[in-house]
Amino acid sequence: MSVIIELEGVRKTYRSGSLAFEALRGIDIRIDEGEYVAVIGPSGSGKSTLMNLLGCLDLPTEGRYVLADEDTSSLDEAALAAIRNRRIGFVFQQFHLLPSMTAWRNVELPLVYAGLPRHERRDRAIAALERVGLGDRVDHRPGELSGGQQQRVAVARALVTEPALLLADEPTGNLDSRSTSDVLGLFDELHASGRTIVLITHEPDVAARAGRNLVIDDGLIAVDRPTAAAGVAQ
C-alpha cells in the first residue's frame, strides 16, 4: 500500500488582530491509499481545520503535508488549485450547489475548470449522476430535489474528476436517516472501488462505517484506532 497522505508536525494558528488561536497543535498522520478514515471529536476540536489542510484549501502554519508524493508547502496558489481539481473531491454539510444550475450543470463544473470539451463534460456528468442513482434527475435544479438527492448531486460532483481522495465534512449532518444511509452506502461502494475517503462526523454509527477512526481533541490526535469494519470492505 502506498501512502497518500502524510502530515508531520502540523500546526495551524489562526490570527485575528493581536489574538492568536492554535487550532491544531502538532498533528502526525499517515493514511494509505484506499483507506476509509472517519475523524471524530468535540465541536471546536479542529476537525474542519484539519480537513481544510488535507484539501489544500488552507496551509499549515508549521509542519509538512505531503499529498500523493507532493510536498504541498512548496506550492503556490495556482498549483494548489490544480491539485484540488485533479486529486480531491469535496463534499460538505451544506451541499454548496449552484441553485440556478441543473444537476448535470453542477456536476460538470469541476470539468469546466479542468478544461474538458463540452460533450465529454456532459457525458461524464450524466454518468456520475447515474452512479449516485439520479439518472432520472439530471435536468432538475437543486430546489427541485430533496436534501438527500442534493447531497448525492454533490457526491457526483466530487466524483466526476475521478479523484484519488474524497474529503467529506459532516456529509450526513443535514440528512434524515434514509438519505444518510443512501449517502453512506455510496461511500462504502467508493471505498470498495479503491477510493481513499476521509470523513468528518459527529455520529458514532457513521464513524463505525469507516475502517479507522481518528479522534481529535483540542487540536491533537487523541486516539487513532481501527474499527470493527476494518478489513471488511478492503
Ligand X SMILES: Nc1ncnc2c1ncn2[C@@H]1O[C@H](COP(=O)(O)OP(=O)(O)OP(=O)(O)O)[C@@H](O)[C@H]1O
Nearer to ligand X, 5 or 134 (CB): 5
The distance of closest approach from Cβ of residue 48 to Mg ion in the complex, given in angstroms and rounded to an integer, is: 3
d(CA 65, CA 8): 7
Distance CA 212, CA 191 (A): 12
Can residue 193 be called a binding residue for ligand X (CB under 6 A)? no
Only one residue has cell 463505525, namely 208
The answer to whether residue 21 forms part of the interface with ligand X (CB under 6 A) is yes
The residues near 166 (Cβ < 8 Å, ≥ 6 apart) are 88, 89, 91, 158, 159, 187, 190, 195, 196, 197, 198
Task: State the nearest-atom distance from the C-beta of 12 to ligand X, in Å.
Answer: 8
**Binding-site string for Mg ion from residue 45 to residue 74, where x marks contact by CB under 5 A and - marks none:** --xx--------------------------
Question: Is 139 strand, coil or helix?
Answer: coil
Spatial contact of 12 and 24, defined as CB atoms under 8 Å apart: yes
Does 47 participate in binding ligand X (rule CB under 6 A)?
yes
Is 14 a binder of ligand X (CB under 6 A)? yes
Choose one: 46-54, 84-92, 124-132, 179-187; the region binding ligand X (CB under 6 A): 46-54
Q: Is 48 in the site for ligand X (CB under 6 A)?
A: yes
Query: Closest Cα to residue 128, out of 98, 106, 95, 97?
Result: 106
Choose one: 42-50, 113-121, 175-183, 189-197; the region binding ligand X (CB under 6 A). 42-50
Residue ranges that bind ligand X, judged by CB under 6 A: 14, 16, 21, 23, 41, 43-49
